[in-house]
Amino acid sequence: MEQQRLAVFRKTHFNAAHRLNNPAWSDEQNARVFGKCNNTNYHGHNYELVVRVVGAVDPETGYVIDLGVLNNLIDVNVLQKFDHKNLNLDTAEFANLNPSAENIAIVIYNLLRPKLNTNLDLKIRLYETERNFVEYPA
């Protein structure tokens, strides 16, 4: 019988502040490119995080991955790092990396990937607003 692979999802959220700024650019260029997200004194977003794991259904458990285990991995490796933090000032990950939704999704992927079995595929979807969201890998 062909292996039955399917996707399971865990949806969670965190609140964080950030500022998008490229120190190599002038104030004018930063303001033009990043708009409100360039605000000098930072601003917050309510990030919605959807973690998608694809794998085969284990015939013994009926699970792809125990969602309680997945939730704990997200909590320990992502939420405890970023929730209620200023991403630019409080986190090593964004000390020198612009905390755009794109970069946050890539960082979250890289934090979780080593914690998951290699036979599971991982995809991160991150909503910065209800209408603006990114997915990594594409």
Nearest approach in angstroms of CB 17 to Ni ion is 9
Stretch in the footprint of Ni ion (CB under 5 A) among 37-45, 54-62, 63-71, 100-108: 37-45
Would you say 15 and 83 are in contact if contact means Cβ atoms under 8 Å apart?
Answer: yes
Tokens linked to 131:
């209408």
The active-site residue out of 18, 37, 45, 93 is: 37
Least Cβ distance, residue 1 to Ni ion (angstroms): 48
- Could you say which of 16, 37, 101, 105 contacts Ni ion (CB under 5 A)? 37
Q: 84 in the Ramachandran plot: left (φ > 0), alpha (ψ -120 to 50) or beta?
A: left
Which residue, 94, 98, 128, is CA-closest to 111? 94
Active site residue 45: no
Question: Looking at the annotation, which residues are catalytic?
Answer: 37, 84, 128
